[in-house]
Amino acid sequence: MKKPNFSTSRRGFTLMETVIAIGVLALLLTGFLAVFAPATAGIRKAVSIQEADRLAFALQKELVLLRDTSSDYDTGFEKAYEWIKASTEDDNALLVYQYRSQIGGSLRSDGTPSPYLDGEGTAGKDFIIQPMLRRKGDAELRNDLKALEGRIYTTKLVQLVFNSQGEMERGTEGEITSPSGDGSAGTDAETYPEAVIAFAAEFHLLPNSSYNYINGSNFNITELNSPVFTRNLAVRR
């Protein structure tokens, strides 16, 4: 009896079938990205906001704190006045961040803890997280960035003034005037007519945290127009 002849060859995918399969896969990936990409961006923005929020208190405290590097100022209010006024200038940009600092180590000349540079370690055991605000030209900024924890922000400080309806609004960058708009602005911290300077602190996330970028030609604070976080703060005499 003649045995049936079974062919062992199998039919492969045609070019048209392969093209269709790739097209379906591309549509699925497009739909996936359309759904999840905004959510991922939202998570990143939320993390940035939480981080900047923790740094807002450090900003407010450091503005009026006289360190050795602030010896040009007679009072903390004078320092805050000058730093707020000049914060939108590239050369006087304010950098706010957190760095890993030594526990029980020696303090630097400005009273800040020395950076923890041993690499691996456990927060609270080997080092502590120190929030910090420095001007762009601060000599200790380079050392802090070697132990940077998280990201670094530059913050524009703009005075809040009253408008004609009696509501507070953003003033003019680089200026400190009488918040009531009566013209008695004064020319410096001593002649400023009020006891309080209210201001908006706009936190901008820097795309690069290297010291060379911050002090290079690519750093331009005037091009930063979309803060990730804004907090209204005030300093008092």
Residue 226 lies in a domain: yes
Residue 176 lies in a domain: yes
Residue 49 lies in a domain: no
Least confident range of 111-120, 181-190, 192-201? 181-190
Average predicted confidence (pLDDT) for the chain: 82
The pLDDT of residue 199 is above 90: yes
Residue 37 lies in a domain: no
What proportion of the chain, given as a percentage, has pLDDT over 70?
A: 78
How does residue 48 score in pLDDT terms, banded at 50, 70 and 90? low
Looking at the whole model, is its pTM more than 0.85? no
Residue 90 lies in a domain: yes
What average pLDDT does this structure show over 9-16?
Answer: 64
The C-alpha atoms of residue 233 and residue 31 are separated, in whole angstroms, by: 43
Neighbouring CB atoms inside 10 A of 162's CB total 16
Beta strand residue intervals within the chain, DSSP E:
94-102, 127-135, 153-162, 168-170, 196-205, 229-236
- Residue 195 belongs to what domain range? 61-95+151-236
At 14 the pLDDT is 76
**How many structural domains does the chain have?**
1
Please give the DSSP secondary-structure letter assigned to residue 123: B
At 218 the pLDDT is 86
At 183 the pLDDT is 61
Beta strand residue intervals within 106-215, DSSP E:
127-135, 153-162, 168-170, 196-205
Residue 192 lies in a domain: yes
